[in-house]
């Protein structure tokens, strides 16, 4: 099996419509800024991109759900600053032509589905699922390599989303006793998995 890490960020209020102002992302986009920071954390390393990462951003705050999938193996022009990343997301979603619930590539490595969590779960069929929760059993010792990690936004998971994940077989895992920002959780996960692979020669 190919080595692959997937991250899924559930943006319960995030939207990407014409009312979003780049000069006031937190105030006008339902916190698309939270998702933009997760793009940097999931894909950007010093002087490069993590090619083995798939990132899903689920935007549930608009008139209809939208999910952006960024494939590190093919994505181009991923810059580390929040404004460029928000622009990238807005453009990708703005290009959507028809209401297709499947992922449709809008530019190299970046696809959009006109659907929410269900599109992600369908896309990740067969991949072990992990739901990130403070207080859950620690990632250390969990022996995870290939997996999809589901992370909440500034308000956390809504009960229906958490229930859907557990029903789909997701295993709860934690990264320590303090509640962290979503992008910091991604960074900690990468670091733990990088170290585990380094230790085991993977
Ligand atoms: C800013 S936190 C959410 C805070 C929200 N008020 C709550 O209580 O759920 C964003 C997300 O990061 C993840 N998270 C935060 N701290 C964590 C921890 N220590 N271990 C595992 N996941 C964590 C969870 O998925 C959470 O939904």
Ligand 1 in reach of 9 Cβ (< 6 A) = no
- Is 182's C-beta closer than 6 angstroms to any atom of ligand 1? yes
| Alpha helices, H only, 47-181 | 82-94, 117-123, 159-167
Rounded distance, CA 62 to CA 119, Å?
17
Spacing, Cα 96 to ligand 1 middle (Å): 31
CA atoms of 73 and 111, how far apart (whole Å): 13
pLDDT band at 78 (very low <50, low <70, confident <90, very high): very high
- Calculate how far, in angstroms, residue 16's C-alpha sits from the geometric centre of ligand 1: 23
**Global model pTM greater than 0.95:** yes
Q: What is the pLDDT of residues 149-179, one digit of tens each?
A: 999 999 999 999 999 999 999 999 999 999 9
Of 156, 175, 190, the residue with max ligand 1 atoms within 8 A of its CB, to mutate for a pocket test, comes to 156
In the predicted model, is pLDDT for residue 202 greater than 90? no
CB of 179 within 6 A of ligand 1: the answer is yes
- The residue among 1 and 91 whose pLDDT is bigger is 91
Query: 133: Cβ below 6 Å to ligand 1?
Result: yes
Q: Copy the structure tokens of residue 112.
A: 């959009």
Which residue's structure tokens are 């403070």? 134
**Tens-digit pLDDT profile for residues 128-139:** 999 999 999 999
Whether residue 152 has its Cβ less than 6 Å from ligand 1:
yes
**Cβ-proximal residues to 180 (8 Å cutoff; 6+ apart), any chain:** 134, 188
User: When comparing pLDDT for 196 and 151, which is higher?
Assistant: 151
Structure-token pair, residue 198: 């380094």
Contact in structure between 75 and 109 (CB atoms under 8 Å)? yes
pLDDT at 1: 42
* Residues 28, 134: Cα–Cα separation, whole Å: 28
Q: What is the pLDDT of residues 105-128, one digit of tens each?
A: 999 999 999 999 999 999 999 999
Q: Which atom of ligand 1 is nearest to the CA of 178?
A: 19
């Amino acid at each position: 099996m190919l080595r692959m890490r997937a991250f899924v960020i559930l943006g319960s209020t995030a939207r990407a419509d014409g009312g979003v102002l780049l000069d006031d992302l937190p105030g006008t986009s339902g916190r698309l800024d939270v998702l933009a920071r997760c793009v940097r954390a999931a894909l950007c390393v010093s002087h490069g991109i993590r090619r083995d990462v798939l990132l899903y951003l689920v935007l549930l705050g608009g008139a209809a759900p939208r999910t952006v999938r960024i494939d590190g193996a093919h994505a181009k022009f991923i810059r580390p600053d929040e404004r460029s990343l928000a622009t990238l997301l807005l453009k990708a979603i703005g290009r959507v032509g028809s209401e297709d619930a499947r992922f449709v590539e809008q530019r190299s490595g970046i696809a959009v589905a006109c659907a929410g969590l269900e599109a992600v779960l369908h896309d990740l069929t067969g991949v072990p699922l992990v739901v990130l929760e403070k207080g859950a059993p620690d990632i250390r010792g969990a022996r995870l390599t290939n997996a999809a990690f589901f992370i909440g936004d500034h308000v956390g998971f809504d009960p229906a989303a958490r229930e859907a994940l557990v029903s789909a077989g997701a295993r709860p895992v934690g990264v320590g006793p303090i509640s962290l920002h979503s992008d910091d959780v991604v960074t900690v996960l990468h670091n733990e998995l990088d170290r585990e692979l380094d230790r085991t020669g993977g």
